[in-house]
Homo-oligomer: A and B are copies of this chain.
Amino acid sequence: MAHRAELIAVGTEILLGNIANTDAQILSEHLAELGINVLYHTVVGDNPGRLREALELARSRVDVIITTGGLGPTYDDLTKQTICETFGRKNVLHPELEQWLRDLFAARKRPMTDNNLQQAYLPENCTVFHNHNGTAPGCGFCEGGVHVLMLPGPPHECELMFRTGAEPYLRALSEGVIASHTLRVYGKGESDMEMLLRDKIEKMTNPTVAPYAKTDECMLRVTAKAPTAEEAEAMLKPAVDEVMAVVGEWVYGVDVDNLESVCLAALKARGATLAAAESCTGGLIAKRITDVPGASAAFLGGVVSYTNGVKANALNVPQALLDEHGAVSEPVAAAMAEGVRALTGADYALSVTGVAGPDSDERGNPVGLVYIALASPDGTVCKKCEFGKRSRDHIRMQAANTAFDMLRRELGRT
């Protein structure tokens, strides 16, 4: 039987918005891989009454409860006591944990205050989860068919304890694994994808395919459940192929990080180099490609030409071209790409010139009008884009994405 889980985070600081419930995301990702269905995330404050109600509700609707937080030494750490009361277990001193704590403080040459001893108390007859990143141990036990696991709140403690303690505990319970591949799509939205794949989305049960919207792009996730990772993978392969046969034209990669890393990998694979000349994107293309570690193997640099003076001086865009067509025009986009290609000696060069807004430019070009050029050993191509009246950030992002998509298509073509 597939297990059903609820994650309960305990901490007023989450409800105040001081910190995010990072643990829930980390644990959900790991639990999905184990084939455990997470049905609910719940956050309650450091309040024993509300925590108890949340635990009672959880035990009525799931068979795996994982709490995060509230295991520390201070007076507001009350997860253990409340769980013991709710599930009728004694909270007892574990002498081996007391010794471990005393040794730990001695090694750190710090006195151990009395409240720290609280951390050596855990429910009777539990599986202890050791904390390799902090002082609060966790544990797991089963009561009335419900597994209760307690993990510490700080994400680096929580994740490590999950992997070293909770995961082995849970693996022993579960049958099967869930595996997935993510197809990254640019140039078609979530609703278009759903239209194109509607019959597959509806018919497929295992594997399944589902579209997700991301800002200015979308993802298709193909997911399979099987007894082993190998069997899941074997089921995924034909499903991915089937989806690719329909929408492959817009898929820029499978299980990849983003458009810029796909571009960088394709450039490196052919030993080619890239430069960028940016007007309205103002350095965004350069910034994004240099976000990727190892970018220096293919990216030489570029020019941010926010004024006509810089376009003329640094990129050698002819003044006559600027006067005749204006900075936001196809000839200037092409001259910028060719200019930065000559300046840097790069094989490929991208350029962007347009109106990011909030106002139209002095020639009356509307917000969202952007020209993007790609200069390559085969010549220069230019694309006119009308992104419409959207936010400045959005137009800049679309322009950069479109530029990267032009480049990855060009690199994939040859």
Which residues does A use to contact B, with CB under 8 Å? 9, 13-22, 24-32, 38-45, 50, 54, 57, 72-76, 107-109, 113, 115-116, 133, 154, 156, 190-192, 194-195, 210-213, 215, 221, 276, 278, 280-287, 289-291, 293, 295-296, 299-307, 309-310, 313-314, 343-345, 357-358, 386-394, 396
Contacts and interface: CB of A to CB of B under 8 A. Distances in A.
Contact of A310 (B19, B40, B281, B300): B300
Among the interface residues A19, A26, A41, A115, which one has the most CB atoms of the partner chain B within 10 A?
A: A41
Given A74-B211, A301-B307, 19 more contacts: A9-B41, A13-B212, A15-B39, A16-B28, A17-B29, A20-B20, A21-B25, A40-B50, A41-B43, A42-B43, A72-B190, A74-B191, A113-B192, A280-B290, A283-B287, A287-B287, A293-B358, A301-B306, A309-B344
26 contacts: A15-B38, A15-B41, A16-B32, A17-B31, A18-B212, A21-B21, A39-B45, A40-B54, A75-B194, A107-B388, A107-B389, A276-B304, A281-B287, A282-B290, A286-B286, A287-B287, A291-B392, A291-B393, A293-B358, A300-B306, A300-B307, A303-B303, A309-B344, A309-B345, A310-B343, A314-B314
Contacts of A195: 113
B24 A313 contact: no
Nearest to A202: B75
B43 A17 contact: no
Contacts of A386: 109
Nearest to A153: B213
Copies in the complex: 2
Contact of A307 (B13, B194, B296, B357): B296
Contact of A283 (B283, B392, B393): B283
